[in-house]
Amino acid sequence: MTMASSFPIISDASMPVVLIALLLGSLAALLMEGRHQRAAGAFSTALLAALLAATIPMLLHTGVGRAFPIFAAPFVGSASLFADGMSSILVSTTLLLAAAVSLYATRGAPLARCEGGDGHSPKRGFFALLLLYVAGLVGVFESSSLILFFVFFELMLVSSWLLIGLWGSGRSLAAGMKYFLYTEFGALLLLLGILAYGGATGTMDLLAMQQAPEPTSAVAVAVALMATGVLVKSAAFPMHSWLPDTYHSAPTAASALLSYSTIAVGGYALLRAFQSFAPSALGDGNFMLILSVIGLVNIVYGGIIAMRQSDMKRLLAYSSISQVGYMLIGVASSTYIGSLGVVIWAVAHGFGKSALFMIAGIFREYAGSDDLSRLSGLAGRMPVTSSMLLSSFLSLAGIPPLLGFWGEVFIFLGYAYSAVGGAPDYARLAVLTAGVIATVISAGYGLLAVKRALYGAQNDLSKNAKDPPASMWLPVVFFVIALCVFGIFPSLLTDAFWIYVP
């Protein structure tokens, strides 16, 4: 299957229903949380599961695009909700992850206080903000218009900022403000690029375009601005410093979704910009080489710093910086298989990293700490949690038969094709070689964390540790099972993937 506009586009009224349900559900959850938070959590989980079931047809009808007109305005143009194979996969993954995260948060540490125990967080609003954040994510993946994309991008930013600042632990207010300033700066660059693109091409809606725009200097500047804004949101080096404090301070359930969105939104936005709105950018070898070098720096820098962390959430934060690098190399491959690898990598990262953040929360609550320097010998006391920890890290390291293996293989295979598919590009070959070698780092920090937490002599903390109730470990087990199923049957994702190109 190739990236082409020949696939049929049908009108689908269910697309706005999903977003409307999330927005109204957010209001309903807010009202419910005033009286009974666990009821609000159960409502949020059920709503997300139902909406996931409603989006499954988008995946089953391979090669069929879906659209629903929203508005048409002077100077802005038309705007529609839209889903091709790429967005369909990411929307379904988002709803699946959010449903599991909502279930986890319902049974997790009491939400009437901050995880740090300072008692200053509000007594309601967590699940309302969670649903707003999911609405922003779904809207980002389903926007055909760059203006509509920006609106949902801002909704995602504001709701996640409030989740971090109001419900986080430690210096959550400071971390939330740092997150907001960095990502809002990225959003402003994105907006400048969008406006410049509209001025250069006369349209900002993908479905209104008859063909790709001419590769003028104005289009190049617009795409560069949009890409830079996305790189800030994706914590690409050297614009990454907001991420460690944010993930460390955010509530565990929010960290699970934030980690997924960093790669999923970044990868989606770059692929959509380069493949659908400005395919000429893919032919700029220098630009793509710079992007891949940034990716390589992310892989090495994030991985090395992750190996030096004892706090598990900080380890996972720097790991996410490293994982972003693989996404950037896949985008820079300028190939279909590399783009497929980016989407698979985002899905695998979502399942694996969400499971690991949940395990960090389980360690804190049921082992007494998530500091790896204080944990030892947990394998005998927490067998379910320990098995899930090892499996999730193996997926991030690209070990078969887990899904992360296919994401990594497709990314590097696509990049290899771009390096030697024609005349050999020795700069790209150097990046490819270094990137493949750097995968050892991903395996290193994961296996080191597993060794420190699970093996060795039991101490006072581990002697009192135990697996949590089933309602807390079920989401984690589900994620690992999903990594195995999709890893053994990757065609479930590859057959559904395609990108709309005008």
Residue-wise pLDDT tens for the chain (502 aa)?
Answer: 334 445 677 877 677 889 999 999 999 988 887 677 778 888 999 999 999 998 888 777 767 778 888 777 766 677 888 888 899 999 999 999 999 999 888 875 544 334 444 444 555 788 999 999 999 999 999 998 899 999 999 999 999 988 888 887 767 788 888 888 888 999 999 999 999 998 888 888 888 777 777 778 888 899 899 999 999 988 888 888 888 888 888 888 888 888 898 899 999 999 998 888 888 777 777 888 999 999 999 999 999 999 988 888 899 999 999 999 999 999 999 899 999 999 999 999 999 999 999 998 888 888 888 888 888 888 888 889 889 999 999 998 889 999 999 999 999 999 999 888 777 888 999 999 999 999 999 889 889 989 888 888 778 777 888 888 887 888 899 999 999 999 999 999 999 898 888 7
Instruction: Kindly state whether residue 330 falls inside one of the protein's structural domains.
Output: yes
- For residue 331, being part of any structural domain is answered with yes
- Residues in contact with 420: Cβ distance below 8 Å, sequence separation at least 6, in sequence order: 429
Cross-strand pairs, 71: 79
Distance of CA 385 to the CA centre of its chain: 23
Nearest Cα neighbor of 306 from 399, 178, 405, 442 is 442
pLDDT for res 112 = 37
108 phi, psi to nearest 5 deg? -80, -160
In this prediction, residue 299 carries a pLDDT of: 95
Domain-embedded: residue 499: no
Assigned domain for 502 exists: no
Q: Rounded to the nearest 5 degrees, what angle is found at the Cα of 274, between the Cα atoms of 273 and 275?
A: 100
Determine if residue 93 is left, alpha or beta; phi over 0 gives left, psi from -120 to 50 gives alpha, anything else beta: alpha
Distance of CA 134 to the CA centre of its chain: 12
Q: Is 3 a domain residue?
A: no
Any domain includes 500: no
Q: Would you say residue 49 lies in a domain?
A: yes
- Domain of residue 140 covers 9-494
Cβ atoms < 10 Å from Cβ of 465: 22
C-alpha distances out from residue 360 to 42, 89, 258, 312, 367, Å? 22, 27, 15, 6, 10
Residues 438 and 152: their CA atoms lie apart, in Å, by: 35
Q: How many other C-beta atoms lie within 10 A of the C-beta of residue 427?
A: 13
Alpha helix (H) residue ranges in 168-251: 172-201, 217-233, 242-249
* pLDDT number for residue 7: 63
Domain count, the chain: 1
424, β-bridge pairs: none
pTM value > 0.85: yes
Rg of the chain on CA atoms, in Å: 21
Alpha helices by DSSP H, 252-335: 252-271, 285-307, 312-332
Q: Which of 12, 203, 178, 52 is nearest to 44 (CA)?
A: 52
Phi, psi for 452 (deg, rounded to 5): -70, -40
CA-nearest of 285, 214, 467, 205 to 359 is 467
Sheet of 9-11: strands edge to edge?
9-11, 65-73, 77-83
Alpha-carbon distance 385 to 359, whole Å? 7
Task: Identify whether 366 is part of a domain.
Answer: yes
